[in-house]
């Protein structure tokens, strides 16, 4: 804890759990939160900042969040830039596997139709009635 500076500001470090940070605001007025290096809050799917109405600046590869008067407390969930690359890479791998699986499935259907045609299997496609003996 650093005692108030000449302009009345107080700075302190608070513990965090993982990539989230929550703390009540003890005094009214503006608040500033410096995130760790390479941390970002720009993608809502991966991050969340509460309350709204904050300003974001990046200084020395660190995001600085500022609120003019946040009210009851601050809550921030952030992600690291490397997490964005991991998330994007896993998404691409998932899409590639889905496309490959679909292509493999369709190729199997195509090969089964070719084998059926090779053995001259006569299949009626327009016979939607009940099986023989139940007519």
What pLDDT tens digit does each residue of the chain (135 aa) get?
556 667 767 777 777 778 998 888 877 888 888 998 899 999 988 899 999 889 999 988 899 999 988 778 889 999 999 998 999 999 999 999 999 999 999 999 999 989 888 887 666 666 667 777 786
Q: Are 75 and 21 in contact (CB under 8 A)?
A: yes
Q: What is the pLDDT of residue 118?
A: 83
Say if 127 falls within a structural domain: no
Torsion angle, CA of 92/96/97/103, rounded to 10 degrees? 160
pLDDT score recorded for residue 94: 98
Range of the domain at 69: 20-80
Report yes or no on 68 lying in a domain.
yes
| Structural domain total, the chain | 1
In a domain, 73, yes or no: yes
pLDDT at 26: 78
pLDDT reported for residue 126? 62
Residue 134 pLDDT: 80
In a domain, 57, yes or no: yes
Q: How far apart are CA 8 and CA 113, in angstroms?
A: 80
4: tokens are: 């108030």
What local confidence, expressed as pLDDT, does residue 116 receive? 83
Angle at 77 between CA 71 and CA 82, to 5 degrees: 150
Q: Which of 41, 25, 38, 34 is nearest to 77 (CA)?
A: 41
Which residue in this structure is represented by tokens 């995130």? 35
Does 69 fall in a domain?
yes
Residue 46 in any domain: the answer is yes
């Amino acid at each position: 804890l650093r005692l108030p500076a000449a302009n009345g500001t107080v700075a302190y470090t608070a513990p965090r759990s993982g990539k989230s940070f929550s703390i009540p605001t003890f005094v009214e007025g503006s608040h500033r939160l410096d995130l760790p290096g390479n941390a970002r809050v720009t993608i809502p799917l991966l991050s969340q900042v509460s309350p709204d109405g904050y300003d974001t600046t990046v200084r020395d590869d660190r995001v600085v969040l500022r609120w003019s008067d946040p009210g009851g407390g601050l809550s921030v969930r952030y992600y690291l830039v490397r997490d964005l690359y991991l998330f994007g890479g896993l998404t691409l791998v998932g899409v590639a596997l889905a496309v490959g699986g679909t292509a493999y499935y369709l190729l199997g259907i195509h090969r089964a139709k070719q084998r059926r045609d090779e053995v001259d299997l006569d299949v009626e496609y327009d016979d939607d009635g009940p099986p023989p003996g139940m007519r």
